[in-house]
Chains A and B, each alone.
Chain A
Amino acid sequence: MEKVKIRHFMPSIKMYKDMVQHEVTYFQYHNNTRFTISSRLIKTPGLWVNHWRSVPYVYRWSPEEERILPEHYKNSCREFMTKEPEPVHWRPDPQKYWEDIDSGQRFPVINAPIPVVYPKECNTGLWGGEGIIFGYFTKVDPKRQKKLPTRPRIWLPELMKRVLYSEILDRYMAIMITARAQYLIDEAFGLDNYILQTHEVDLCSRLAMTLKREMLLALANKSLYSDNPVKKEKIYKKYEKFVIPAEEAEWIGLPMYEAVEKAKALEEELYPPQPLKDLYLVDLVRRLKLSASAS
Chain B
Amino acid sequence: MAVAVKLLRGCCHCGSLSRTSLAAKELLSRTAVGSVVLQTRNNTRIMERVYPLPVGKDGGRPDRSQMNELYKILREVEIVKYPEEIQCILTDFVEGVGIRGDVVTVKRDFFHEELFPAGMAVYASPDNIEEFEEERKAKGIDKAETRLGVFARMTMKELSNMHLEIPLSDSSDWTLCKRHVQVAFRIQGVEVEEDCLELPEEAVTEFQDVTINVWINGLESVPVSATIVPISEKFPPTKK
Interface residues of A (CB under 8 A from B): 1-2, 4, 6, 9, 11, 15, 18-19, 21-22, 29-30, 32-33, 35, 37, 51-52, 88-91, 98, 107-110, 112, 114-115, 117, 119-121, 130, 132-138, 150, 153-156, 158, 160, 162-163, 165, 172, 178-180, 182-183, 186, 189-190, 238
Offer 18 A-B interface pairs, CB within 8 angstroms, sorted by A: A4-B25, A11-B7, A32-B69, A89-B44, A89-B45, A89-B47, A98-B52, A109-B52, A110-B54, A114-B47, A115-B72, A136-B73, A136-B74, A163-B116, A182-B108, A183-B83, A186-B108, A190-B123
Once bound together, how far apart are the Cα atoms of A156 and B4, in whole Å? 13
B1 touches A165 (CB 8 A): no
Please measure, in the bound complex, the distance between the C-alpha atom of A35 and the C-alpha atom of B41, giving whole angstroms: 27
Contact of B64 among A51, A153, A154, A158 (CB under 8 A): A51
Does B141 interact with chain A (Cβ within 8 Å)? no
Residues of B within 8 A of A30 (CB): 67, 69
Assess the A158–B46 pair: CB atoms within 8 A: no
Shortest beta-carbon contacts, A-B, top 3: A189-B125, A135-B74, A119-B1
Stretch at the interface among B8-16, B97-105, B226-234: B8-16
B50–A19 touching, CB < 8 Å: no
Given contact pairs A30-B69, A136-B69, A158-B41, a sample of 16 additional A-B residue pairs in the complex whose CB atoms are under 8 Å apart = A1-B21, A6-B18, A9-B11, A21-B1, A32-B69, A33-B72, A35-B4, A88-B44, A89-B45, A114-B74, A115-B72, A119-B1, A135-B47, A156-B5, A163-B116, A179-B82
Residue of A nearest to B80 (CB): A180
Q: Please determine whether A22 and B45 come into contact, CB atoms closer than 8 angstroms.
A: no
- Contact partner of B127 (CB less than 8 A), chosen from A15, A33, A121, A238, is A238
| Interfacial chain B residues near A88, Cβ < 8 Å | 44
- Closest residue on chain A to residue B112 by CB atoms: A162
Nearest Cβ in chain B — how far from A123, in angstroms? Answer: 13
Query: In the bound complex, what is the Cα–Cα distance between A120 and B44 (angstroms)?
Result: 20
Residue of A nearest to B88 (CB): A186
Q: Which of these binds chain A: B55-63, B151-159, B195-203? A: B55-63
Classify chain B: how many residues form its interface, as a range. Answer: 35 or more
Q: Let me know if B67 and A182 touch, CB within 8 A.
A: no
**Can you list, as one digit per residue, whether each of B31-53 has a CB less than 8 Å from chain A (1) or not (0)?**
00000000011111111111011
**Chain B contact residues, CB within 8 Å of chain A:** 1-5, 7-8, 10-11, 14, 18-22, 25, 40-50, 52-56, 59-62, 64, 67, 69, 72-75, 77-78, 82-83, 86, 108, 112-113, 116-117, 123, 125, 127-128
- Chain B residues whose C-beta falls within 8 Å of the C-beta of A135 in the assembled complex: 47, 72-74
CB closest residue in chain A, given B131: A234
CB contacts (< 8 Å) of B25 on chain A: these are: 4
Q: Is the interface of B mostly helix, strand, loop or mixed?
A: mixed
In the complex, the answer to whether A22 meets B1 with C-beta atoms within 8 Å is: yes
Contact of B1 among A4, A6, A132, A133 (CB under 8 A): A132
Contact residues in A for B72 (Cβ distance below 8 Å):
33, 115, 134-136
Q: Is A4 in contact with B21, judged by CB distance below 8 angstroms? A: yes
Decide: A179 and B61 in contact? CB cutoff 8 A: no
**Contact (A165, B55) CB under 8 Å given A4-B22, A91-B46, A117-B1:** no
Contact, CB under 8 Å: A137 / B74: yes
Are the C-beta atoms of B3 and A155 separated by less than 8 Å? no
Give the chain B neighbours of A182 by CB distance below 8 A: 82, 108, 112
**Chain A residue at minimal CB-CB distance from B63:** A51
Also in contact, A133 and B74, with CB within 8 A (given A90-B46, A138-B50): yes
CA distance A154 to B213 in the complex (A): 66
Q: Which one of B3, B55, B78 lies within 8 Å of A18 (CB-CB)?
A: B3
Residue with the highest number of chain A CB atoms closer than 10 Å, among B64, B77, B113: B64
Residues of A contacting B117 in the complex (Cβ-Cβ under 8 angstroms): 163, 165, 172
Report the minimum CB–CB distance from B153 to chain A (whole Å): 27
> Separation in Å of the A32 CB from the closest CB of chain B?
6
Could you tell me if B69 and A110 are in contact, using CB atoms closer than 8 angstroms? no
> What residues of B have a CB within 8 angstroms of the CB of A186 in the complex?
86, 108, 123
Which of B18, B47, B69: most chain A Cβ within 10 A?
A: B47
